[in-house]
Amino acid sequence: MVQMERCKLATKRLSFYIDGQLSDKARLVVEKHLSTCKYCQNEAILLWNARLVLKSFSSVRIPTSLDKKFTKELYK
């Protein structure tokens, strides 16, 4: 259940992450977790979709390293 606890922490941060409001250090923690956790990847995609509905595409800051991955997930 350690994984679940980690995911709760990451999920809390995901919305800030998607909004680009995390510090560099916090962002790295989230990105590292995202790279290994399917659950949080899905959460991030859901959150990103929600942001896309609420905001114009250009105002959503997606880290370049994850941009292609998420785009691929969104449009498959």
Residues that bind Zn ion (CB under 5 A): 7, 10, 37, 39-40
Give per-residue burial for 42-68: e unless 16+ CB within 10 Å, then b.
Answer: ebbbebbeebeeeeeeeeeebeeebee
Shortest CB 28 distance to Zn ion, Å: 15
* C-beta closer to Zn ion: residue 42 or 71: 42
Shortest CB 57 distance to Zn ion, Å: 26
* C-beta closer to Zn ion: residue 3 or 59: 3
